[in-house]
Amino acid sequence: MKKLLLYLLIAAMLMLALPALSTLSPKNEAVSSSPVESSAPPASEPAAEETTPETTQPEALLPANYTILNEEGQEVQVTPVEYLKGVAAAELPGSWDQQTRIAQMVAAHSYALAVMGASPEEVTLTADPGRHQGYYNLEQRQELYGDQFAQMEAQLEEAATEAVGWLLTIDGNQILPAAYHSCSAGYTEDAETVWGRAVPCLSGVDSEVDRENPDFFQEHTFSADELSSLLESHLPDGDFSGPSSQWLQILETSPAGTITQMTAGGATCTGLELRSWLGLSSAVFSIQCGDNGDITFTTSGSGHGVGMSQYGARQMALDGSSWQEILAHYYPGSLLIQAKLS
C-alpha cells in the first residue's frame, strides 16, 4: 500500500490540513504548544454541562503499525497505541489526569489521520527533534519520567488503549482535523480567523476557565532597535523613523480577541503575522511603550486558540467532566466514531 507522508512539524502539518495557515506559534507547534506544568487549583466555577458526542458503529479501520521516521531518518514501526502514548507524553505534563490525557490522544490521533486525508493500511510519520515533535519514543519517555517511568507508562498504556478506539469526525465519514492549543484567551478562536477558511466543528466556544492559568499573561519586551529591525525585515514599506510609541496601532479584533487588523509603521498586518515574526505567545495582546522607547506586548493565552484548550480541558476534567464531554465542548457538533485495529 502506498505510504502517505505526514509531517508532525507545525508548518507542514497545518498547511496540509488548513492551507490558509499563515502564522505559527513560537514553539512551532504542530497544533499546540505543550502546557507548562501548573499547580494552580481548579477553577472555582464548575465547567458548563456538556452532552456526550453522538457515536456510531465501527467505521474506521486503523493500520496495524505506523512508521515513524526518527531523527536519523530510519524507519521505526510502532503500533497506534504506542504512537498515542508518545503523543501524550510530548504534549501533556505527566501529573495531569487520565480524562485530559485520553481527550488529548483522541484529538491528536484524529488530527494526524485527517491531515493525511485517508485511512491507509500503512502510515508514515516524521519526527524532527529540532522542531518540537509531538511524539516521544520509549527512550525519551524513560528520560522524561525518570523514577516515575513505570507508573507513567502504565497510565499512558491504559489511556491509549481506550483512546485508540475512537476518532473525531465532522459527519461520521470525514475525520476532523482536531486542532488544539495550550491555553485560549478565554474563548477559543474560529478556524476561519486563523487559517482563512471555516472548518466544521472548529468554531469558537467559551473557555473562561483558561483565565485561571497562572501563566495566562506573558510579557514580551523589545527595544526600539530590536523591534524596528524585526518589523522592517517583514514590512519593507513600514516607516519606523518616528517615536516607537507611534509605530503600532490595533484596528480590529475577532470576538475571541485575536487581532485581525493592525498597522506597524503605517503598513497593514495582522496580530497573527506579528505573533509569528516576534515569537509572541498568542495573537491576543496589548501594547505598551516605555519611557525609554521599549515596547512590551502582553499576551493572553498561548497558542493559535483553535479547537481544544489543553489547560481548559484539564480544568473541565478536574471539575468532573469525562473525556467525551471535553471533546463535545471544544469540538461542537463533532461525531465520535469507533476505530478498529487491522
Instruction: Identify the bridge partners of residue 167 per DSSP, sorted by sequence position.
Output: 337
C-alpha 18/C-alpha 13 separation (Å) is 8
Q: Residue 274, SS3?
A: helix
Q: Which one, of 109, 87, 235, lies nearest residue 169 by Cα?
A: 109
Q: Percentage of residues in the chain with pLDDT exceeding 90?
A: 67
Q: What is the pLDDT of residues 29-59, one digit of tens each?
A: 444 533 333 332 222 222 223 333 444 444 5
Residue 313 or residue 114, greater confidence: 313
Grid coordinates representing 255 are 470576538
pLDDT band at 17 (very low <50, low <70, confident <90, very high): very low
- Cell reading at 324: 467525551
Q: Which three cell numbers stand for residue 51?
A: 452532552
CA–CA separation, 340 and 202 (whole Å): 25
Amino acid letter at 310?
Q
Going by the DSSP 8-state scheme, the letter that residue 209 receives in this structure is G
300 three-class SS: strand
Give residue-wise pLDDT tens across range 269-311. 999 999 999 999 999 999 999 999 999 999 999 999 999 999 9
What pLDDT band is residue 115 in, cutting at 50, 70 and 90? confident
Longest dimension (CA), the chain: 65
Is the pLDDT confidence value at 14 over 80? Answer: no
Per-chain mean pLDDT for the chain: 82
